[in-house]
Amino acid sequence: MAVDTVYVMAGGAYMAQIFNGVATMVGTSAWDSMMRIVMLISGMSALAVYMRAHDPKELVKFVAFMILITSVLLIPKRSVQIIDRSDPTGVYRVDNVPLGLAVPAKFITSIGTDITEIYERLFHLPDSLMYSKTGMLYGADLVGHVSDVMTVNGDLAELMGMYVKNCVIGDIMINHKYSFQELMNSRDPYTLIFRQPSPLRGVMVPYGNSEAQEEGFWTCEMLAKNVLMPKLGIDTTTGGATWEYTVRRLFGGAPNANVLYATLLGDSYNYYYQGGQTAGQLMRTSVVMNALRNGISAYSAQSGDTASLVNLSSSSSYNKMRLSWATSGSIGVKFLPLMNTILLALIFALFPITILLATIHALTIGMLKNYIFSIIYLQSWPPMFAILNSAATFYLRGKTGGTEFNLANLASIQEMHSDIGLVAGWLTLSIPFIAYGIVKGMGSVVSQAGNYLGTAINSSATASSSQAADGTWAFNNMQTDNVSGNKWDTNYSHREGQTTQQLASGASVTQTASGQMVYDSSTAMSRLPVSIKGSDVTASTLQDMARRADVQASSAQHGYQSSVNSGWNQLSQFSTQTGNSATLSSGTDSGMTASQSQAVAKMQNAVSTVAKNQGISKREAYEMLMNNQVSSGYGYGGKVSGGLGFGRDSGSGPKIGFDGYVEANKSDRDSITKGTQESGSRNTDYHYGQNVLAQKDFREGWEVLESERISHGTSQNDNTANSDINQFAATLSVSQNSYDQYMTSRTRSQEYSEMASLAKSHSAQIDSNFDQQFVNYVMEKAPGSADRILSDTSSPDVARERDALAKSFAEERIVPQLESEHAANKAKVSEPGISDTGAGALPADPATSFAENKRKIEKMSDEANIRRDIPGKVAEQQSKTEQHIRDNREQVAAGKQALEDQKVVAVTENQVQQVRHTGNFNQAKNEQKLNPEVQEREQQEREKLLSEQSFRQPRKY
């Protein structure tokens, strides 16, 4: 079976499915049924035409068309080979395709493809620039893309930027190894900047950069030879990160993408710039150029007169036209070839319907004609694409023929390639109209295409020119759903430099041209029926404080007047009194209060015990113990007294006296009463041990009291005026305090009154003066939450935080100002001549008056012959008396030791007598036959006695 070749611009696989569908449909029984129905309709139509005109040629045409359609177009089958021009490897074979579909597709597509290739061969374009092989301006796009290539390695880009900043600029500005102009015009900046790097200057490689072996200081020479040159070479060749990224972006995942990119880019560059560089060299040069451009961003090229309206209009028109070209060109270049393929596939897919309609006698010629013309129309697009591509390529080569591919021309190269591509893409949109003219006639179609292009150019140019002439410019304006009406405003208004933003709380914040933040929370606050005005609250508070201060001032004034009157009365009393006395006394008391209390308790217990045992009263027992009836006592004592007396009217002189005593005595009396009586009961009694114990307690208590009975004292009396002077001084001190309180309260009252009046009369200023200062204060203290604090009026937590900041702001910014004003007002109130206190003239200085009056009183004392040396003499006499007491105490201590020795002997004898008494008592007890009841009663009495004695024991402190 013969094979027919069909060429398509793109979508070869899709076209193969279309042919398969048509071949399958024609071979089905449904198709046979439809053909029989259509042939029946066609025969009836031919019969009707023949009967109307009686023309035998109609019958001949009917038979001929039936044979043509069935025997020529449908029954013969062909194998079709579909070749995709955009994918040279995409070849698809389809069998059993009807001859009527395969032959027209073969001849028409082959003619269109041959015409396209002929035009390209005539223009002598390399494979990378042929439309039939790569598409519209593909080579130009490759060159334009390579001029934008930048390294995708972030660490390498960082090092390259640092090298340009610290090494390249230094070589130009300091060492003058090459000029800036030489760098801009060099076709190989890679070799130039790495030719002689500085061995002294360098860069600080940051920590974490993976391209350098270690962080720290690297000289320019070390960084260039060891890092940048080898790394850039790897990055811009096959397998490098930047190479792989660029190839994948242009060719996707094609298996031969690296080879295609290297070949196509090299051919395109050599065609446009006659450079003779490989793709790797071009990419490396582009990477270095873009790194240099970013590193020398401060050295921008100077522009022309951009302020001119003509230039501004031209620039605006060009920009608008480029945008229009970009939009139209993107559609034309990308979607027109795809649309051509889809339309061609649609015509091929409609082949069965076309045959069915062509079978009808009246429609046969028209349907076959339209079918053939449609294929011709679509196949006329590729030759025109090739012609447009060749024209644009030729024009671009002419523009870039004398241009060097260097850093200085990089921007213009990018612009030229972009403009040519955009124009070609925009002109591509006219090809469908021109192709239609080939089928129907070129005159009207070319005129229509010219009008379309002219209108597009004139529209943008006219709009920009009118804006320049009228002075109306609008950039980046976006409006939606705007409705306005009935407005009349002729006022002049000028605002600039501000940015207003509405916050989530409803408030707005405006940043002025100076950078200051202005907050407006009026839209975030509720307007209530009642309003608490800060100035009224301030004035009311200050007035209340002024009233309290006035009351305190009046009270202090009254106290001051009373104390002054009392002082002068005391001074007058001193001047009229015939004699005054003042007593100064000092004494020394020493004692052991706890020991004395314990001794007294022991003596009381001893008296009670003896009184009970002897059956006498406590008074008699005390006298018995004192008279040593049943006791032994020891005692010593001393007494010293002295005194001095002076008097104006007593007539007595000084007197001093001293007396003392030391005594010791001892008396022991032992008494044992023993008896037995029996009169219906038996009774025995013994008191010796208890009396001895009582004797011991009484004697110890007495010794303590006797040993501590030492008293001494001194007193001095002098008829002086010291008491009156001190009393008068205290009175004047009270006067001074009252005066100070009065002045302070009066000053506060006046200041509060003035502040209240100021707050009331200047309420507007007080309410608004510190608002913006508080905003700035909050911005300083809490910059992260300033918006929330200054605008949120619904959250209680935010309100508390705002109140705390307000108090802090008042303490830091407002209170110091009020304190300075307070000090100034206090100085004014304290000035002489202020007599608005209502109390008349007051003494200027009470302390001065006190000193003067004290001198007057001392003078009066001297005139009254009052001695002033009494304290010294009293101190001297007191020292002598204390020395006598110490001497007597030593003598008493010596006598006490002797008495202690005698006490030990007496206690020993007492113990012997107690043992003897116990033995005699037990013997007598055994001799007598005691009644058990009596014995039990005696035991109870003894326990009772012992409990009383333990209860009466003296407490220890």
Euclidean distance between CA atoms 653 and 650, whole angstroms: 9
Mean pLDDT value of segment 293-304: 47
Lookup result for tokens 């030759």? 383
Mean pLDDT value of segment 101-130: 73
pLDDT cut 90: percent of the chain above it: 0
What pLDDT score does 800 carry? 86
Is the model's pLDDT at 486 over the cut of 50?
yes
Lookup result for tokens 């002929």? 118
pLDDT tens digits along 348-384: 888 888 888 887 777 778 888 888 888 888 877 777 7
What pLDDT score does 949 carry? 58
Euclidean distance between CA atoms 286 and 278, whole angstroms: 12
Euclidean distance between CA atoms 340 and 333, whole angstroms: 12
Is the model's pLDDT at 98 over the cut of 80?
yes
Euclidean distance between CA atoms 926 and 497, whole angstroms: 132
pLDDT tens digits along 565-601: 565 555 545 444 434 444 444 444 444 445 656 766 7
**Paired residues of 91 in beta bridges:** 83
CB atoms near residue 885 (< 10 Å): 19
What pLDDT score does 882 carry? 76
Q: Which of 132-146, 502-516, 740-754 has the lowest mean pLDDT?
A: 132-146
pLDDT classification of 785: cutoffs 50, 70, 90: confident
Euclidean distance between CA atoms 903 and 3, whole angstroms: 160
Mean pLDDT value of segment 735-745: 63
Structure token pair of residue 142: 């490759």
Residue-wise burial string across 550-576, b where 16 or more C-beta atoms lie within 10 A, e elsewhere = bebbbebbebbbebbebbeebbeebee
Range picked from 559-563, 730-734, 854-858 for highest mean pLDDT: 854-858
Residue 594 is which amino acid? A
**DSSP-derived pairing of the beta strands 91-98 and 77-84:** antiparallel
For residue 228, give the nearest of 151, 135, 125, 305 by alpha carbon. 151
For 575, the enclosing helix (H) or strand (E) is: helix 534-576
> CA torsion 927→928→932→934, rounded to 10°?
-130
What pLDDT score does 679 carry? 33
Residue 474: phi and psi, rounded to 5, are: -145, 125
Task: Please give the DSSP secondary-structure letter assigned to residue 93.
Answer: E
Q: Does the model's pTM come out above 0.75?
A: no
pLDDT tens digits along 44-72: 877 877 788 777 777 777 788 788 777 77
For 519, the enclosing helix (H) or strand (E) is: strand 517-520
**DSSP-derived pairing of the beta strands 91-98 and 714-718:** unpaired
**Paired residues of 92 in beta bridges:** 82
Structure token pair of residue 866: 């009052």
Mean pLDDT score across all residues of the chain: 66
What pLDDT score does 514 carry? 82
What pLDDT score does 25 carry? 82
CB 684 within 8 A of CB 930: yes
For 448, the enclosing helix (H) or strand (E) is: helix 442-470
- The larger pLDDT score, comparing residue 457 to residue 527, is at 527
For residue 557, give the nearest of 814, 797, 838 by alpha carbon. 838
DSSP string, 411-445: HHHHHHHHHHHHHHHHHHTTHHHHHHHHHH-HHHH
pLDDT tens digits along 892-901: 676 667 667 7
For 203, the enclosing helix (H) or strand (E) is: strand 202-205
pLDDT tens digits along 165-215: 788 888 887 878 877 777 777 777 778 888 888 888 888 888 877 777 777
For 254, the enclosing helix (H) or strand (E) is: none
Question: What 3-state class would DSSP assign to 130?
Answer: coil
Mean pLDDT value of segment 806-810: 79
Mean pLDDT value of segment 407-419: 56
Q: Which residues contact 785 (CB under 8 A, 6 or more apart)?
A: none
